[in-house]
Amino acid sequence: MCFKVLCRRCEKYTWGGCGNHLTNVYNSIQEGNHCMCRSWPGVVIPRPTQQPTQSRTPPQGITILFDCWRYAGKVIKSMFGHALGGRGKST
C-alpha cells in the first residue's frame, strides 16, 4: 500500500510504499503541495492551470508617444483647419 510522506528537501508531500497506488496518493494531496524531487511513476501530472498574466495596456512610453502625436494633430488642425494625412474633403 502507498502513503504520503513529507519530503525533507522541499517540505512538500511525496510518496512511500509499494508504488502501485500512486494515483490515489497523488489525488489526496492538495494542488501545489506535491513534491517533484522524486518521480510519480504511472501518474499523469496535469499542467499548471495558472496562465501568465499579460497586460492589455500598452507600455507607458508608447502611450506617451501616441499622446504627443494626438496633441500635434490637434495643433495642426487648429492652425490649418485640417489634420495632415487626412482623406477628407479639401477646402
Per-residue pLDDT of 30-57, as tens digits, reads 999 999 999 999 999 887 666 656 666 6
Domain of residue 28 covers: 1-40
pLDDT given at position 80? 76
Looking at the domain assignment, is residue 48 inside a domain? no
- Is a pLDDT exceeding 70 seen at residue 90? no
Q: Are 23 and 43 in contact (CB under 8 A)?
A: yes
Looking at the domain assignment, is residue 25 inside a domain? yes
Three-class SS of residue 23? Answer: helix
pLDDT given at position 8? 95
Q: Are 34 and 12 in contact (CB under 8 A)?
A: yes
Distances (CA, A) of 19 to 58, 63, 67, 70, 71: 51, 57, 63, 66, 69
Q: Are 29 and 13 in contact (CB under 8 A)?
A: yes
Q: Which residue has the higher pLDDT, 20 or 46?
A: 20
Looking at the domain assignment, is residue 2 inside a domain? yes
Q: Are 4 and 29 in contact (CB under 8 A)?
A: yes
Number of domains forming the structure of the chain: 2
